[in-house]
Amino acid sequence: MLRIINAGPFCTLQGHPRRGQKKFGIPESGPADAVSMALANRLVGSPAYATCIEITLGGFEAEAESALSIALTGAEGAATLNGVPCDYHKTLFLNKGDLLIVRPPKFGARTYLAIGGQIQADTAFQSTSTYVLGGFGGYDGRKLQPNDMLRVDRDIKLTTDAMLATPQHLRPFIGAATLLRTLQLDADVPLNASDALFGGDASIASNSDRTGVRLQNLTLSLDHDGLMRSAPVAAGIVQCPPDGAPIILGPDAQTTGGYPRIACIIRSDRHLIGQLAPNARVRFVACEPEEAVAILKQKTDLIRTWVPDFSF
Amino acid sequence: MTGKVKDVGNSNPRVTCLGDDMLSVGVDNPVQAKFVTERMTNIPGLEDIVAGMDSVAIRFDPLVANKSVIEATLSRAANSVATMSEWGVGKIIEIPVTYGGDEGPDLPALSTALKLSVDEIIVRHTATLHCVELIGFLPGFAYLSGLEPSLATPRLKSPRTRVPAGSIAISGAQTGIYALPSPGGWSIIGRTNKILFDPEGPTPTTLEAGDRVRFVAQSK
């Protein structure tokens, strides 16, 4: 059992994306950075999409109420165990009374904290992922707050056999600038209309969240009145509202939208969106559909060498 | 929408790319969107189907699904004829609405803009049978056609950060129903106390595409 002392600005339980529910207007949710979550779960012997704690911009403090195995991955805010710095990408053992603190990261936005033995969470529409606007999934359908108690299904035995570390070459690089491989879309605007998207660096606006990452310092002028009949959208799609500031949709994005869909981040690069913190820089790199599938295959195969049940 | 559905199939369904794992096909109307959605089943690697007003999109796992099979199935389904009779099977649902006041804060401004009295707006909004074209945007949010044309109105200049659950709003030629509290940019004319989204219910949404809705004015 883990007692939350402080959950920071936005901390939720996330598990498998919620699929097949768009007909009710229900988005996918699930981890903003699926790769980091899978790596955390691997270190505590859980499936890639087992329910995990997604901490946004640090500010997290919790006390073990029983012996636990845990692991931290993703954005590496300084973390301490009973005041002593602790590692990311390694299985850690907590005894009753141990205090874990995760501070805001210098780079990246989200830290994943996995707990061995399966975190108990509400299942809604076949997924434990929290969707705060809908008020379902995760921990009572809301973000975590002080004094919440996270229970695990199974007690774990603390043996050093279970000590694991993510292989060095599989640890994602999370820095001040991110490249996103992107397909241009011609569903709503001509193919070259969004060329300026690939021109230079954009930066991330502070009003970004799990529904979408808003870009600043990059303004597109589309030859489009900016409004259309509501059309399907999904995580990874880049929309351009009339003000010309593109939005990259995230896992909690609405199911349909009325702004032109100008581009889509390739499936295997979408985990990077989850690490785009306010003021970080991002650059879009043009990619072709066939190339995107080849990259997806390659990246999936690589991650599966360590997390066998992983898929994007 | 009501009575205006074309009785023919989509002559040239265009399948467009929405990503390396997403394809979309154009449809003529929501009848056909529903028809296409129902036919996209038992396809390996299919992850989700999303209907829009004039298109249906499929998200799939490119490492499991066969993209050309999905493309062909989408195209074939969109090419089929959807008739008014298939659309007509939807339920007719009455939605009680308290118009104006705190429940419908934009009604006075709308009355001024449309040069219609508040009462006349209510009469016209309750007079027609509306049709649920789409559940989308947010959980349970319903887009309805069938708005009396004189009530058409543009979006609010600046959207509200929070619209109460049950709000009945209009934008363009449509009525929208907010099932959950959420941000919103439509003109709010009233509110219903009917529960429209219940995650615990046998079906989470009270309304589904194809249903017809009659708004009934309620006194406070």
Question: Three-state SS string across A169-200, please?
Answer: HHCCCCCCEEEEEEEECCCCCCHHHHHHHHCC
Describe the strand order of the beta sheet including A149-150 as a list of residue ranges: A84-85, A79-81, A99-102, A60-64, A2-7, A149-150
Tell me: pLDDT of B82 over 80: no
- What is the structure's pLDDT at B201? 87
- What is the structure's pLDDT at B30? 76
Take residue A47 and report the two structure tokens written for it: 């499936």
Which one of B24, B35, B48, B162 makes the best mutation probe of the A interface by having the most chain A beta carbons within 10 Å? B48
Q: What span, in angstroms and rounded, lies between the C-alpha atoms of B149 and B165? A: 26
- What is the structure's pLDDT at A258? 85
Find the CB nearest A231 among B47, B53, B138.
Answer: B53
- Summary mean pLDDT of chain B: 87
Q: Could you tell me the pLDDT band of residue B37, with boundaries at 50, 70 and 90?
A: confident
CA distances from B136 to A125, A193, A249, A269, B148 (A): 16, 27, 16, 26, 22
Residue carrying the six token digits 């980091």:
A36
Q: Is the dihedral of CA A270, A122, B194, B109 positive or negative?
A: negative
Find the CB nearest B199 among A19, A136, A311.
Answer: A136
Task: Confirm whether the ipTM is greater than 0.85.
Answer: yes
* A281, A271 contact by CB (below 8 A): no
Burial of B117 (0-12, 13-18, 19+ CB in 10 A): exposed
- What is the structure's pLDDT at B86? 55
Interface of A with B in 1-40 (CB under 8 A): 19-26, 28
- Nearest residue of chain B to residue A184 (CA atoms): B19
* A149, A3 contact by CB (below 8 A): yes
Tell me: pLDDT of B11 over 60: no
- What is the structure's pLDDT at B6? 38
Cβ contact B49–A20 (<8 Å): yes
B180-213 burial: b if 16+ Cβ within 10 Å, else e: bebebbbbbbbbbeeebbebeeeebbbbbbbbbb
Q: How far is A28 from chain B (nearest CA, A)?
A: 9
Cβ contact A23–B135 (<8 Å): yes
- Mention every residue, 6+ apart, whose C-beta is less than 8 A from residue A160: none
Cβ contact A311–B18 (<8 Å): no
φ and ψ of A294, to 5 deg: -65, -40
Of residues A256, A254, A222, A213, the one with CA closest to residue A241: A222
- What is the structure's pLDDT at B77? 84
Tell me: pLDDT of B4 over 80: no
- Nearest residue of chain B to residue A137 (CA atoms): B199
The larger pLDDT score, comparing residue A79 to residue B7, is at: A79
For B164-203, the pLDDT digits (tens) are: 999 999 998 899 999 999 888 899 999 999 999 999 888 9
Tell me: pLDDT of B10 over 60: no
- What is the β-pairing status of strands B92-99 and B212-217? parallel
Which one of B21, B67, B186 makes the best mutation probe of the A interface by having the most chain A beta carbons within 10 Å? B21
Q: How many CB pairs under 8 A join A and B?
A: 143
Radius of gyration of chain B (CA): 19
For B133-161, the pLDDT digits (tens) are: 999 999 999 999 999 999 998 888 777 88
- What is the structure's pLDDT at A221? 87
Radius of gyration of chain A (CA): 19
Max Cα distance, chain A (Å): 63
pLDDT of chain A, 312 residues: tens digit per residue: 999 999 999 999 999 999 999 999 999 999 999 999 999 999 999 999 999 999 999 999 999 999 999 999 999 999 999 999 999 999 999 999 999 999 999 999 999 999 999 999 999 999 999 999 999 999 999 999 999 999 998 766 666 667 899 999 999 999 999 999 999 999 898 888 888 999 889 999 999 999 999 999 998 988 777 667 889 999 999 999 888 899 999 999 999 988 899 999 999 999 999 999 999 999 999 999 999 999 999 999 999 999 999 999
- What is the structure's pLDDT at B12? 52
